[in-house]
């Protein structure tokens, strides 16, 4: 473990001095600060909980704590509690003390069940404090901890300053939810940080590469499509802020979340067309990113996948595909990969055509295969660094040269760089296209084989990834592996109207006059036709191993977005590894890693590189490099690569600007924070304010009790009930979600859960179970906070009965179960007030009875196993009740079998009285 820098030591001391929220800029070693704080505070004689830690963070913290033990046998280690740990084992771990990472849901249930010795708790460390809200489970835990053990400390940390500047007073709300009064800010421009990181600077070479003309045209076309989609979305709904939702803001990754946050209050009321445009907007923003991140073949494959995913007979294609800019996007993307020769040109060059077929490629194409400029420059840089290292070692000037570290934005780029470097010395003669790098030739062959696979009908199906009117998602369009089956070869090349007949969409690029405006559908269909011929010729072709197009890495069947750390093995980078023995010197080693694996500054200390190449710009890793050198490590050269005047550069500059502005805003807010001295919960204050608006609300004497199903602790309602003064008892119950008293059961449904339960039929079984066991059964339909309190827009209401309509399904539910009561709640806060009224003058529930209810009742089905419409008809027959219809359904296979059954058969199932009623009803005359 590396030693802490002075500013990191000051951050640890500040956390030791007071309970506070510590916000640190990305890349300044927050994980290392947390590890040092855990080492100091968490000993076996104490009990400290770590909240909101991911699996990756838990593993990294365990390794850091082991490195910090320094031979002390009583030093703390991190123990992790997951769902697999039973309550008895958890109680034993709590009694042993130390540092424990536990999920918030498990901890809050254990606190309510008195499994945690709360008097022994020393404190809590909350990671990702920007996720804590007044309704979150973490706030619930802290509220109970403050009330029952006020001496326990609370330390909260975060690396996301932007999250504390969005919305109305987010910093104050977070501090109130955490119960903290102090904020510690550590931006990059902090005086102490600047002093520590300015002590030594590595020589940095900024390499600004001009993008190719095709890349410029692709970016412009993609931005035009984004502009057209934003215009259409703004005209379809007036819920977007035009100052925040524009083409400039769409360059950044927070844009998707910004759009969804603006539409979230009315999301369930939006039609499928508007939801589809939101999905299209995210896909187009992804395309703009991949222009500089992917190679030309992978980009074309991704675009073709998006196009195939729109070919659904039940859904209209997205509007952006009808624009000239979309045609330019697909045309330029394909021109970077290959062009098609005319029949006359192909017939006059049969030798090259045969060679292309032998290589597994169509004979009528001319490969272009534009290599990314960054890849070519990277190969030159590595060659220069290798020559310089060998010269220095040979001359005795340097014997401590370390490896060369290449950092990229994703695992897909790592795989591309490794493959290119491993085969950089190999080229393949592609006939009329000339010689090309082996990697590009392999990718081109894999692309056509993928198209042939899709043509054969074995490629699967895919939807557009749009949501229907009820909020369910029908597919995804963001992954290159998603594709829909192509149309039969007999269909016309263009699915829609000709380009001249299409309605022009706002935002079309002016560059359209310079390029052929062939529809994107026609280009994709033409490529599919070429791929079909590849499949035919490939069946009888000889082995291609001698052509140099063998695929030792198995790249053709790999989804680029699903590459895991298995691609990081050195053995995969060296096909001829068995021909060599020994360990390469560090100066001859090239390490390619994505930023996601860098973690913290200890990542660099472990690898000890002397040359670092930033293939993609990343502000957080640049700070890690600064800290690496400030700790005394030697860096010979740092290369910073970026495409000049590109979306990539703009996104990097904007990230730095947004972080700086966020810290400046937090500094001003911290100087004028207004936090009440009272420790009263803000949730409780809001609930009391809402109650005061009601008249004649009687609160039961004593502490009212509500039995809550443990699965409900994923929602904020149990926390709000506890804040409202209820005794929340978590149990695993089979009937209902909330038991208010022995005769009242409540099943809570959020909107997505309501829609899913109605469609699967599970809600009908739950309603039947509640009615069978409780005198009063309530279905609570709860809307989220700040959400429009309306199930559907007025204009979308349909008077006709439809099977997939939510209104029709709710009507059928009420008609089927007349005793079921439906309660509508605008928010969890309102639900807490409703429960207060429902508990008025009521006895407390029997906890053991609530748990046992429905456990031994085999007639109560937990999931839907019957068809809903025949069951609805069966339940309407005379003599059939909610208790005996399942016996009929298990005995007979259809309604006709029941009608044909004898009286004795019905008596054996229903009993004498019910069987006679049903038998006579079926055979009664209608005249």
* One-character DSSP codes across 466-522: -B-TTS-B----SSTT--PPPPPTTS-S-SS--GGGSPPPTT--GGGGGS----HHH
Query: Tokens for 129?
Result: 């404090």
Q: Collect the ranges in the chain with pLDDT lower than 50.
A: 458-517, 536-575, 578, 679-682, 685-701, 858-864
CB of 696 within 8 A of CB of 706? no
Q: Which fold has domain 868-922?
A: DNA polymerase; domain 1 (1.10.150)
Over its C-alpha atoms, the chain yields an Rg (Å, rounded) of: 33
pLDDT tens per residue, range 336-383 = 998 887 766 666 667 777 777 777 788 788 889 999 999 999 999 999
pLDDT of residue 496: 36
* CB of 477 closer than 8 Å to CB of 308: no
Structure tokens at 55: 């699996």
Q: What is the CATH number of domain 6-197?
A: 3.40.50.300
pTM assigned to the model: 0.76
What is residue 791's predicted lDDT score, i.e. its pLDDT?
72
Q: How many CB atoms lie within 10 A of CB 836?
A: 22
Judged on CB neighbours under 10 Å (0-12, 13-18, 19+), 142 is buried
Of 430, 600, 503, the residue nearest 60 (C-alpha)? 600
Distances (CA, A) of 848 to 75, 711, 725, 739: 43, 18, 22, 11
Residue partners of 707: CB distance under 8 A and separation at least 6: 729, 731, 733, 738, 739, 845, 847, 850, 851
Identify the pLDDT of residue 208: 92
Given a contact cutoff of 8 angstroms between Cβ atoms, the answer to whether 285 and 246 are in contact is no
CA dist., res. 745 & res. 775, Å (int): 8
| Residue with token string 């500059």 | 653
Q: Give me the pLDDT at residue 194, please.
A: 92
User: Would you say the CATH fold of 868-922 matches that of 682-791+799-845?
Assistant: no
CATH number of 682-791+799-845: 3.40.50.10130
Residue 454 contacts residue 369 (beta carbons within 8 Å): no
- What 8-state DSSP symbol labels residue 311? -
Q: How far out from the chain centre does Cα 700 lie? A: 44
Whether the CB-CB separation of 68 and 16 falls below 8 Å is answered with: no
- Parallel/antiparallel/unpaired status of strands 738-741 and 705-709: antiparallel
Which residues touch 84 (CB under 8 Å, ≥6 apart)?
A: none
Answer for the pair 922, 899: CB distance below 8 angstroms, yes or no: yes
pLDDT at 502: 37
Rounded to 5 degrees, what are φ and ψ at 322? -85, 0
Q: Are 331 and 519 in contact (CB under 8 A)?
A: no
Domain 372-424+564-639 maps to which CATH number in 3.90.226.10, 3.40.50.300, 3.90.1300.10, 3.10.100.10? 3.40.50.300
Task: List the chain domain ranges.
Answer: 6-197, 208-369+430-547, 372-424+564-639, 682-791+799-845, 868-922
The C-alpha atoms of residue 623 and residue 204 are separated, in whole angstroms, by 13
DSSP bridge partners of 155: 125
Q: How far apart are CA 129 and CA 253, in angstroms?
A: 21
The pLDDT assigned to 296 comes to 93
């Amino acid at each position: 473990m590396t030693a802490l820098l002075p500013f990191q030591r000051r951050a640890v001391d500040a956390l030791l001095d007071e309970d506070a929220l510590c916000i640190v800029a990305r890349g300044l070693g927050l994980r290392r600060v947390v590890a040092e704080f855990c080492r100091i505070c968490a000993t076996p004689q104490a009990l400290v909980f770590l909240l909101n830690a991911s699996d990756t963070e838990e593993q990294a913290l365990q390794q850091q704590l082991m490195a910090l033990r320094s031979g002390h046998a009583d030093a703390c280690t991190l123990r992790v509690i997951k769902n697999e740990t039973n309550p008895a084992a958890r109680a034993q771990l709590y009694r042993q003390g130390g540092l424990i990472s536990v999920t918030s849901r498990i901890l809050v249930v254990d606190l309510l069940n008195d499994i945690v010795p709360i008097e022994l708790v020393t404190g809590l460390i909350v990671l990702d404090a920007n996720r804590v809200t007044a309704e979150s489970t973490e706030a619930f835990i802290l509220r109970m901890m403050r009330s029952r053990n006020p001496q326990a400390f609370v330390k909260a940390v975060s690396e996301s300053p932007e999250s504390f500047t969005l919305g109305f007073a987010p910093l104050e709300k977070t501090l109130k939810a955490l119960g903290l009064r102090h904020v510690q800010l550590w931006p990059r421009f902090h005086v102490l940080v600047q002093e520590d990181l300015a002590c030594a600077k590595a020589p940095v070479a900024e390499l600004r590469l001009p993008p190719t003309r095709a890349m410029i045209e692709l970016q412009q076309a993609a931005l035009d499509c984004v502009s057209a989609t934003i215009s259409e979305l703004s005209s379809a709904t007036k819920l977007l802020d035009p100052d925040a939702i524009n083409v400039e803001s769409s360059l950044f990754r927070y844009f998707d979340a910004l759009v969804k946050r603006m539409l979230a209050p009315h999301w369930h009321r939006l039609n499928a067309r508007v939801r589809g445009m939101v999905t299209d907007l995210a896909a187009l923003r992804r395309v703009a990113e991949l222009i500089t991140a992917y190679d030309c073949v992978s980009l074309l494959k991704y675009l073709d996948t998006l196009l195939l995913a729109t070919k659904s007979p039940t859904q209209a294609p997205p509007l952006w595909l009808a624009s000239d800019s979309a045609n330019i996007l697909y045309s330029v993307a394909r021109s970077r990969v290959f062009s098609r020769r005319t029949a006359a040109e192909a017939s006059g060059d049969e030798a090259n055509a045969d060679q292309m077929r032998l290589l597994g490629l169509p004979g009528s194409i001319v490969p272009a295969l534009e290599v990314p400029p960054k890849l070519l420059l990277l190969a030159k840089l590595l060659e220069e660094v290798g020559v310089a290292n060998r010269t220095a070692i040979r001359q005795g000037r340097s014997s401590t040269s370390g490896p060369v570290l290449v950092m990229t934005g994703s695992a897909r780029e790592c795989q591309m760089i490794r493959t290119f470097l491993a085969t950089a010395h190999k080229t393949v003669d592609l006939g009329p296209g000339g010689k090309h790098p082996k990697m590009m030739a392999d990718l081109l062959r894999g692309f056509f084989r993928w198209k042939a696979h899709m043509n054969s009908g074995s490629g699967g199906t895919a939807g557009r990834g749009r949501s229907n009117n009820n909020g369910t998602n029908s597919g995804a369009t963001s992954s290159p592996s998603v594709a829909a089956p192509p149309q039969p070869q007999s269909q016309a090349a263009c699915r829609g109207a000709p380009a001249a007949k299409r309605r022009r969409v706002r935002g079309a690029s002016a560059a359209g006059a310079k390029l052929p405006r062939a529809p994107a559908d026609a280009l994709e269909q033409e490529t599919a036709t070429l791929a079909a011929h590849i499949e035919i010729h490939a069946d009888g072709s000889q082995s291609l191993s001698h052509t140099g197009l063998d695929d030792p890495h198995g790249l053709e069947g790999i989804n680029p977005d699903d590459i895991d750390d298995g691609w990081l093995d050195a053995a995969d980078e060296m096909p001829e590894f068995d021909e060599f023995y020994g360990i390469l010197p560090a100066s001859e080693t090239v390490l390619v890693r994505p930023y996601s694996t860098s973690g913290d500054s200890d990542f660099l200390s472990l690898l000890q590189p002397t040359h670092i190449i930033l293939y993609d710009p990343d502000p957080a890793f640049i700070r890690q490099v600064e800290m690496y050198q400030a700790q005394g490590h030697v860096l010979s050269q740092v290369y910073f690569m970026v495409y000049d005047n590109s979306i990539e550069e703009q996104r990097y500059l904007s990230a730095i600007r947004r972080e700086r502005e966020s810290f400046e805003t937090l500094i001003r807010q911290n100087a004028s924070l207004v936090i009440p001295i009272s420790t009263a919960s803000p949730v409780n204050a809001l609930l009391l304010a809402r109650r005061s608006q009601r008249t004649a609300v009687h609160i039961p004497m004593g502490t009212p009790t509500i039995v809550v199903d443990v699965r409900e602790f994923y929602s904020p309602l149990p926390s709000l009930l506890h804040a409202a003064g209820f005794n929340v008892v978590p149990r695993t119950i089979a009937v209902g979600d909330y038991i208010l008293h022995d005769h009242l059961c409540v099943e809570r449904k959020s909107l997505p859960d309501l829609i899913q339960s109605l469609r699967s039929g599970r809600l009908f079984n739950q309603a039947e179970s509640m009615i069978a066991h409780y005198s009063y059964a309530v279905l609570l339909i709860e809307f989220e906070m700040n959400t429009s309190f309306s199930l559907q827009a007025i204009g979308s209401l349909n008077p006709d009965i439809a099977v997939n309509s939510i209104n029709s399904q709710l009507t059928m539910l009420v008609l089927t179960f007349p005793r079921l009561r439906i309660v509508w709640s605008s928010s969890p806060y309102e639900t807490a007030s409703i429960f207060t009224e429902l508990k008025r003058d009521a006895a407390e529930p029997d906890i053991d009875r609530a748990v046992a209810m429905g456990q031994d009742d085999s007639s109560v089905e937990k999931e839907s196993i019957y068809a809903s419409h025949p069951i609805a008809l069966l339940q309407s027959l005379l003599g059939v009740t909610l208790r005996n219809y399942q016996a009929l359904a298990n005995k007979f296979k259809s309604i006709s079998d029941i009608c044909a059954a004898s009286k004795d058969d019905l008596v054996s199932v229903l009993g004498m009285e019910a069987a006679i009623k049903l038998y006579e009803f079926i055979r009664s005359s209608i005249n």
